């Protein structure tokens, strides 16, 4: 077995944390809390690793290679350095530094989401072209219905009790399906977590 | 004035960036790629600063400086995890990854059991308790509603069960009961996913409206 | 002559031997002098041949050995002996034996076989045997190439003559030579007392009388070369070729009849038949064996030269492949050209004038011995290799092989057809062995690291560049017409949607439908916010991306204003690095509409909580440990707002702003079980609402506001007008436009099913 120490660490740490859910003993909680704290810290460090890998492992490496993507890698690296330098100088709580989020990140991301509306609408034109069956038709009709509901134009139905009940019923249908989906997700998470805790799955090795 | 100028400047920057993103409507072009690269660089720089100031300093450096010996454990684990950057030393980070994965798996299991499984099963059963809570709705409708919820939940779960028997004559096939419930579940899933897609489209349309409104406001402000 | 019993292994050895043939132990020299001609072994053979062979002698069990240890050739010899003895016994009973016949019958069977075999009466299978299993003259037992062909009485005189000739032949060096032989073979031989060849078994060294052999034919015979060191005679290439041309008989074997009159001077005692046999066998297998590079010696006195392992290897004493094994690093097929030293080649002394066809037709060529490890310090095999001329395959052997043209004739004319190096060196008529340049008999060792050549690197780089260029331009190869169509359609949609948005404020304003139906979850959220305690702070968690900041800004506006109007304190944290900044922006924006609310005194920003669900679980268990500092690195829990908070239940409400159903689910799963009476509220994007609804219906979520329409409903309930209503017209217009577009597109797709089939 490759790296038995890693498996041991994963299993032990998982079992201790899991036991805290069902056995809230003070001694166990005293061990569990710092373990969760270490995991939270490591999650932040993992973000650091991802950023370093992106800048150094991808874009810096791309600088050495010939191609048209070198220019954009230069933009990325320069922007990163400038923002990081300002951040270390001003601090994360400085309003001027927070303009990076409010004036650069938010407009770009929101604009991309707006583009998504156009793209989704265009692709929805051919919705039935690919799924020409009963389930495709049901999906298509469901999209139409809930778009109308979400738009709020059916507010006039408040004066029509039958329509109101019908709309209320329509709201419960996706709730039933969503509940089944949530239960399925929970069962899948349970199975995956158990496989990791018994050492059957080792996504951390290699 | 300086503040107004600064705000104006940042508004102008946001306006330009918004237009550069919308240039994608004309196809992939250098402007769009430039703004994408700018976005990546700015975001990673911001995240880097946040991680240093709000993770490394308060959780690793400050406790060590305060004399906390137990903080050496996450410090060592963090050092090992940082070795993942190097392909040659990446194997040393497996220990930290194992700890993260084990802890995360336990959290997922606990949340799934206590948060979703118990809660949702209880919620499915208590739907019929609405009979005792007179909300103005007819009891028949409530019963139908509860039944709909129960059948829909079970049918959706059955749909995701792909177990089948291998019969000699008919090959691999589901039983008639599970096949029926799976078909019903398909119906509920299609409606649910349709609602989800409609929600995504609604969110995107809201973003489009918000951006359009921002463009209008920016033009008005800049023209003044 | 009595045998010299080895004190160690107690096996009989040659009386003249100084070391035991089997275990190489030193032997005490026997008092009996070694015969000049070294024919004690032959006398012994004659004595033993007169003995009646007992059937039990053939029984390997009596020999004390297991049947597996008896070599095949020995077993065959014994079998034939037994058969011949039986035949002799029957003949003796029928006819009186003549002295000559007796004498002849006294001859050992192996000798008879040689005689019979060389007279051309051997079978093909029997002929092949000596190629690999020939035994040296030092072998202990008769080889299995002794044929069972019964010798006729007519050949008895010939046998004597031939035998006498051979006996007169004497090796130059036959003393103190380590003998290489199979232990089994030796042991089996040793344990067979009735075998006529017992003296031979223990005779490690042949004693050849060169003078006697020279008496065979002075004109044809040349003594051994002293440098050779092997005691073997060198064949004169010219003489052999002359004999070959005179009498080219492909299948004629060397026979005793071919011996000239000079053989009479030879006695059997001086004749080492095994030496002859071995010589012949070696010549057949290694035609280059007789190629001798050293000049011939006129001196007839041949010294007993030491035999080296190299020579013994050539003699194939152990029955192994006589080809010298090359070192691993040396190529099998050597590039060295074999050197012809035909003029140096002297014939064997026991070879008569009229050589047998197979021997006379032997082509002498350069012998290129495969480079081998030095067998001994005494003799350098490479010298021999350089001195040995190449020989050709005898005709009888060629005939036994696949029908090929007369390679003897061709080999001299077409020297290129014969392999001059490698395994088939010296053999004419074979295909040219390619020179691989490496020793193919040993696998080439490869290192563990991947060896990549420059060309491979270049090819890999070229491929990588091609891939990069391909993905740099287009992920998928789309025709330009299709691309243009996509662009045009997207432009049309974008223009129409933006146009509707712009015109909604004017054209569509009268058609705006304000919300009249209030979703129950919004109502619950309103009720919860309205009833929460103002003494405790409210935990606001921002778990959304900047992409939905605009929507959530509209969605959360009314709820935040509602909280601010109640003068509640906020504790802000985020599980997203940019979430706390966005949250602060929302609060600042909402505070503008609430008079008297100062965010700086009512809001504590804890910052970023990493880890996702793990962080939320830590927050649920111990908020102080989860967020010890503010985003300014100040100690958070010493402030007035958080002073009384030790757990999540100490908050008046937990409100999560989320854009993903997964993050909402994490908060519900991790936080809700430990909240107790504290309400859990959500402000979510429209895309997360469907999957949050079951949690609300199960009671795990106290209420939530979903999307723009939910915020409008919340505004309606607050009975306040905010910026959201101004955007309602645009929102509803675009939504209806999209509905119409999708509906029309779906109907067109249903009506035109053939378009899909056409495009395939």
Q: Which band of pLDDT confidence, cut at 50, 70 and 90, is reported for residue B17?
A: very high
- CA distance to partner chain C, nearest, from residue B107 (Å): 6
Q: Work out the mean pLDDT of chain A and round it to a whole number.
A: 89
Residues of A in contact with B70 (CB under 8 A): 34
Tell me the average pLDDT across C231-258: 49
Q: How confident is the model at residue C315 (pLDDT cuts 50, 70, 90)?
A: very low
Q: For B132-136, C255-259, C511-515, which range has the lowest pLDDT when averaged over its residues?
A: C255-259
What integer is the mean pLDDT of C464-488?
Answer: 74
A91 close to B (CB below 8 A): yes
Give CA–CA dist C670/A21, Å, rounded.
10
Q: How far is CA B182 from CA A143, A149, B156, B163, C486, in A?
A: 21, 28, 7, 11, 38
Q: Do A41 and B17 touch (CB under 8 A)?
A: no
For residue C300, pLDDT over 90 is answered with no
Query: Which CATH fold would you assign to the domain C520-726?
Result: Rossmann fold (3.40.50)
State yes or no: pLDDT of C414 exceeds 80.
Answer: no
pLDDT for position A165: 73
Q: Which residue has the higher pLDDT, C606 or C390?
A: C606
B/e letters for C650-670, b = 16+ CB within 10 Å, e = fewer, are: ebbbbbbbbbbbebbbbbbbb
Pick from B41, B46, B115: CB nearest A78: B41
pLDDT at A113: 95
**What's the whole-number mean pLDDT along residues C218-243?**
46
Write down the pLDDT at residue C53.
46
User: C559 falls in which pLDDT band (50, 70, 90)?
Assistant: very high
- State the smallest CA–CA distance between residue C699 and chain A in angstroms: 13
Question: What CA–CA distance (Å, rounded) separates C317 from C204?
Answer: 11
- C468 confidence band (pLDDT: 50, 70, 90): confident
Using a CB–CB cutoff of 8 Å, tell me whether C683 touches chain B. Answer: no
Closest CA to B13 of A103, A114, A94: A103
Q: Which chain B residues are within 8 Å of C490, Cβ to Cβ?
A: 25
B144 in a structural domain: yes
pLDDT-derived band of residue C332, with 50, 70 and 90 as boundaries? very low
pLDDT at res. C529: 93
- pLDDT for C164 equals 73
**C96 pLDDT tier (thresholds 50, 70, 90):** low
Task: Tell me what the mean pLDDT of segment B75-104 comes to.
Answer: 93
Model confidence at C739, pLDDT cuts 50, 70, 90, reads very high
Q: At residue C52, does pLDDT exceed 70?
A: no
Kindly list the residues from chain B whose CB atom is less than 8 angstroms away from the CB atom of residue C502. 212, 216
Residue written as token pair 């006529």: C196
Higher per-residue pLDDT: A134 or C58: A134
pLDDT, mean of residues A150-171: 75
Q: According to the model, what pLDDT value does residue C355 have? A: 55
B79 pLDDT tier (thresholds 50, 70, 90): very high
Q: Which residue has the higher pLDDT, A5 or C59?
A: A5
Quote the pLDDT of residue C722.
64
A65, A182, A196, best to mutate vs chain C, most C CBs in 10 Å? A182
Length of chain B, please? 224
pLDDT of residue B125: 82
Write the ipTM: 0.92
Q: How far is CA A150 from the centre of its chain?
A: 24
- For residue range A44-93, list pLDDT tens digits in order: 999 999 999 999 999 998 888 877 778 999 999 999 999 999 999 999 98
Residue C280: phi and psi, rounded to 5, are: -65, -45
- Greatest mean pLDDT among B58-72, B119-133, B148-162, C246-260 lies in B58-72
Residue B56 in any domain: the answer is no
User: Does the structure show a pLDDT above 90 at C738?
Assistant: yes
Per residue in C342-380, pLDDT (tens digit) is 444 444 455 455 556 655 555 444 444 444 444 444 445
Range of the domain at B204: 134-224
CB contacts, 8 Å: B211 with chain C: 550
CB of C685 within 8 Å of any CB in chain B?
Answer: yes
C43 or C140: which leads in pLDDT? C43
Q: For residue C117, what pLDDT is reported? A: 66
Cβ-contact C714, C559 below 8 angstroms: yes
Residue C149 has pLDDT above 50, yes or no: no
pLDDT at C502 over 60: yes
Nearest chain B residue to A198, by CA? B102
Residue ranges with strand state E in chain B? 165-167, 171-173
Q: Which of residues 173-212 of B touch C (CB under 8 A)?
A: 192, 195-196, 199-203, 205-212
Residue pointed to by tokens 């166990």: A28
Strands C538-543 and C12-13: what pairing? unpaired
User: Which has the minimum average pLDDT: A6-15, C80-89, C128-137, C206-215?
Assistant: C128-137
pLDDT at A70: 86
Residue C211 pLDDT exceeds 60: no
- C679-731, pLDDT tens digit by residue? 999 999 999 999 999 999 899 999 999 998 888 889 888 887 766 777 888 89
Burial C279-301 (b: 16+ CB within 10 A, else e): bbbbbbbbbbbbbbbbebbeebe
Give me the residue from B57, B122, B195 closest to C690, CB to CB.
Answer: B195
CB contact under 8 A, A108 and B17: yes
Q: Which of B17, B124, B198 is facing A147, going by the closest CB pair?
A: B198
Highest-confidence segment of A110-114, B138-142, C183-187, C196-200: A110-114
- Domains of chain C, residue spans: 35-417, 520-726
**Which pLDDT score is estimated for B27?**
87
Is any Cβ of chain A less than 8 angstroms from the Cβ of B219? no
Lowest mean pLDDT among B21-25, C394-398, C612-616: C394-398
Q: Which two tokens stand for residue C465?
A: 């560049």
Q: How far is CA C675 from CA B157, C570, C650, C651, C655, in A?
A: 29, 17, 9, 9, 12
Q: Who wins on pLDDT, A34 or C28?
A: A34
Quote the crossing angle between the two packed helices A106-124 and B176-223, to the nearest 10°: 130
Average pLDDT over residues C88-94: 74
The answer to whether the predicted template modeling score (pTM) of the entire model surpasses 0.90 is: no
Tally the C-alpha atoms within 13 A of residue C111's C-alpha that lie toward its C-beta.
Answer: 29
Instruction: Decide if C690 and A174 are in contact by the 8 Å CB cutoff.
Output: yes
Nearest by CB to residue A51, choosing from B44, B154, B201, is: B44
pLDDT at B11: 92
Q: What is the mean pLDDT of residues C220-242?
A: 46
The mean pLDDT of chain C is: 69
Report the distance separating Cα A105 and Cα C545, nearest Å: 10
Residue C314 pLDDT exceeds 70: no
Residues C631, B54: C-beta atoms closer than 8 Å: yes
Contact criterion met (CB < 8 Å) for B152 and A177: yes
Which residue matches tokens 């297991």?
Answer: C66
Measured from the Cβ of residue C475, the count of other Cβ atoms closer than 10 Å reads 9
When pLDDT is cut at 50, 70 and 90, the band that residue A24 belongs to is confident
pLDDT of residue C183: 44
Residues A105-148: pLDDT tens digits? Answer: 999 999 999 999 999 999 998 888 777 788 889 999 999 999 99
Nearest chain A residue to B111, by CA: A186
**C264 pLDDT exceeds 70?**
no
Strand pairing class (C4-5; C570-574): unpaired
Nearest-angstrom CA–CA distance, C527 and C681: 11
Q: What pLDDT, on a 0 to 100 scale, did the predictor assign at position C685?
A: 94
Q: Please state the domain count of chain B.
A: 1
In the predicted model, what is the mean pLDDT of chain B? 87
Q: How far is B146 from chain A (nearest CA, A)?
A: 9
When CB atoms are compared, the residue of A117, A128, A174 closest to C749 is A128
Residue B115 is predicted with a pLDDT of 92
pLDDT surpassing 90 at residue C301: no
């Amino acid at each position: 077995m490759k790296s038995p120490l890693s498996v041991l660490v994963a299993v032990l740490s998982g079992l201790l944390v899991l036991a805290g859910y069902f056995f809230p003993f003070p001694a166990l909680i005293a061990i569990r809390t710092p373990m969760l704290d270490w995991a939270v810290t490591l999650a932040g460090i993992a973000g650091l690793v991802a950023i370093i890998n992106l800048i150094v492992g991808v874009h810096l490496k791309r600088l050495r290679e010939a191609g048209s993507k070198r220019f954009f890698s230069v933009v990325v690296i320069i922007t990163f350095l400038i923002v990081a330098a300002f951040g270390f100088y001003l601090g994360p709580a400085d309003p001027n530094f927070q303009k990076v989020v409010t004036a650069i990140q938010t407009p770009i991301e929101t604009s991309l989401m707006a583009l998504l509306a156009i793209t989704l609408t265009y692709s929805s034109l051919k919705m039935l072209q690919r799924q020409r069956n009963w389930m495709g038709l049901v999906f298509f009709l469901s999209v139409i219905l809930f778009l109308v509901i979400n738009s709020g134009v059916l507010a006039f139905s408040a004066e029509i009790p039958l329509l109101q009940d019908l709309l209320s019923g329509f709201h419960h249908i996706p709730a039933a399906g969503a509940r089944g989906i949530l239960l399925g997700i929970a069962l899948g998470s349970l199975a995956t977590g158990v496989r990791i805790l018994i050492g059957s799955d080792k996504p951390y090795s290699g | 004035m300086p503040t107004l100028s600064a705000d104006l400047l940042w508004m102008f920057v946001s306006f330009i960036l918004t237009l550069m993103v919308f240039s994608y409507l004309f196809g992939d072009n250098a402007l769009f790629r430039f703004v994408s690269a700018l976005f990546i660089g700015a975001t990673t720089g911001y995240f880097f600063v946040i991680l240093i100031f709000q993770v490394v300093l308060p959780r690793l450096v400050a406790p060590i400086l305060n004399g906390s010996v137990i903080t050496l454990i996450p410090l060592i684990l963090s050092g090992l995890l940082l070795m993942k950057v190097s392909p040659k030393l990446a194997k040393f980070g497996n220990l930290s990854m194992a700890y993260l994965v084990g802890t995360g798996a336990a959290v997922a299991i606990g949340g799934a059991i206590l948060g979703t499984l118990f809660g949702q099963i209880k919620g499915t059963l208590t739907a019929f308790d609405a009979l005792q809570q007179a909300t103005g709705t007819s009891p028949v409708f409530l019963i139908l509603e509860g039944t709909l919820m129960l059948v829909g939940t079970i049918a959706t779960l059955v749909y995701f069960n792909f177990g089948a028997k291998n019969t000699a004559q008919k090959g691999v096939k589901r039983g008639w009961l599970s096949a029926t419930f799976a078909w019903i579940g398909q119906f509920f899933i299609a409606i649910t996913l349709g609602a989800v897609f409609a929600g995504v489209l609604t969110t995107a349309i809201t973003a489009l409206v918000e951006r359009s409104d921002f463009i209008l406001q920016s033009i008005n402000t800049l023209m003044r | 002559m009595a045998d010299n019993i080895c004190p160690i292994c107690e096996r009989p050895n040659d009386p003249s031997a100084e070391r035991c043939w089997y275990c190489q132990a030193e032997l005490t020299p026997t008092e009996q002098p070694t015969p000049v001609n070294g024919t004690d072994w032959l006398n012994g053979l004659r004595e033993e041949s007169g003995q009646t062979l007992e059937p039990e002698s053939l029984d390997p069990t009596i020999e004390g050995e297991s049947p597996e240890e008896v070599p095949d050739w020995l077993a065959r010899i014994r079998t034939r002996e037994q058969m011949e003895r039986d035949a002799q016994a029957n003949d003796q009973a029928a006819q009186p034996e003549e002295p000559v016949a007796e004498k002849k019958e006294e001859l050992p069977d192996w000798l008879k076989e040689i005689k019979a075999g060389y007279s051309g009466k051997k079978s093909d299978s029997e002929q092949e045997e000596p190629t690999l299993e020939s035994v040296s003259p030092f072998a202990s037992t008769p080889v299995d190439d002794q044929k069972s062909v019964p010798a006729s009485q007519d050949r008895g005189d010939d046998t004597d003559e031939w035998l006498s000739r051979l006996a007169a032949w004497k090796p130059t060096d036959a003393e103190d030579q380590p003998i290489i032989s199979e232990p089994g073979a030796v042991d089996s031989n040793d344990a067979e007392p009735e075998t006529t060849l017992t003296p031979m078994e223990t005779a490690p060294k042949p004693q050849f009388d060169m003078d006697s052999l020279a008496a065979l034919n002075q004109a044809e015979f040349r003594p051994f070369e002293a440098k050779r060191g092997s005691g073997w005679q060198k064949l004169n290439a010219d003489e052999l070729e002359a004999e070959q041309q005179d009498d080219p008989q492909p299948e004629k074997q060397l026979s005793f009849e071919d011996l000239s009159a000079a053989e009479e001077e030879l006695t059997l005692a001086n004749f080492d038949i095994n030496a002859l046999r071995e010589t012949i066998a070696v010549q057949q297998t290694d035609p280059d064996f007789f190629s001798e590079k050293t000049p011939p010696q006129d001196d007839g006195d041949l010294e007993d030269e030491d035999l080296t392992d190299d020579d013994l290897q050539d003699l194939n004493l152990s029955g192994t492949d006589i080809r010298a094994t090359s070192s691993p690093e040396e190529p099998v097929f050597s590039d060295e050209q074999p050197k012809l030293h035909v003029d140096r080649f002297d014939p064997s002394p026991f070879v008569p004038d009229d050589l047998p066809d197979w021997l006379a037709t032997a082509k002498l060529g350069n012998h290129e011995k495969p480079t081998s490890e030095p067998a001994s310090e005494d003799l350098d095999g490479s010298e021999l290799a350089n001195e040995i001329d190449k020989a050709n395959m005898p005709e009888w052997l060629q005939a036994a092989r696949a029908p090929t043209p007369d390679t003897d004739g061709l080999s001299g004319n077409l020297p290129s057809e014969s392999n001059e190096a490698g395994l088939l060196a010296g053999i004419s008529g074979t295909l040219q062995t390619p020179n691989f340049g490496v020793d193919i008999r040993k696998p080439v060792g490869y290192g563990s690291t991947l060896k990549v050549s420059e060309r491979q690197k270049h090819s890999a780089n070229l491929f990588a560049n091609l891939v990069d260029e391909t993905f740099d331009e287009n992920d998928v190869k789309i025709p330009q017409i299709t691309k243009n169509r996509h662009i045009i359609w997207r432009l049309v949609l974008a223009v129409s949607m933006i146009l509707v948005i712009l015109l909604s404020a004017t054209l569509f304003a009268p058609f705006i439908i304000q919300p009249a139906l209030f979703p129950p979850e919004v109502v619950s959220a309103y009720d919860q916010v309205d009833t929460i305690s103002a003494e405790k702070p409210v935990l606001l968690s921002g778990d959304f991306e900047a992409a939905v900041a605009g929507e959530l800004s509209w969605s959360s506006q009314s709820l935040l204003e509602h909280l601010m109007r109640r003068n509640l304190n906020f504790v802000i944290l985020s599980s997203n690095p940019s979430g706390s900044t966005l949250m602060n922006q929302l609060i600042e924006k909402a505070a503008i509409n609430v008079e008297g609310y100062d965010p700086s005194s009512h809001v504590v920003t804890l910052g970023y909580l990493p880890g996702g669900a793990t962080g939320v679980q830590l927050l649920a268990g111990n908020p102080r440990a989860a967020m010890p500092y503010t985003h300014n690195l100040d100690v958070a829990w010493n402030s007035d707002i958080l002073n009384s908070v030790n757990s999540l239940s100490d908050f008046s409400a937990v409100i999560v702003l989320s854009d993903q159903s997964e993050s909402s689910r994490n908060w519900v799963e991790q936080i809700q079980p430990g909240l107790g009476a504290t309400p859990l509220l959500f402000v979510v994007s429209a895309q997360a609402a469907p999957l949050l609804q079951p949690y609300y219906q199960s009671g795990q979520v106290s209420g939530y506001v979903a999307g723009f329409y939910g915020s409008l409903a919340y505004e309606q309930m607050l009975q306040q007008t905010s910026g959201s209503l101004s955007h309602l017209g645009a929102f509803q217009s675009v939504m209806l436009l999209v509905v119409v577009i999708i509906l029309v597109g779906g109907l067109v797709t249903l009506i035109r099913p053939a378009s899909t089939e056409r495009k395939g």
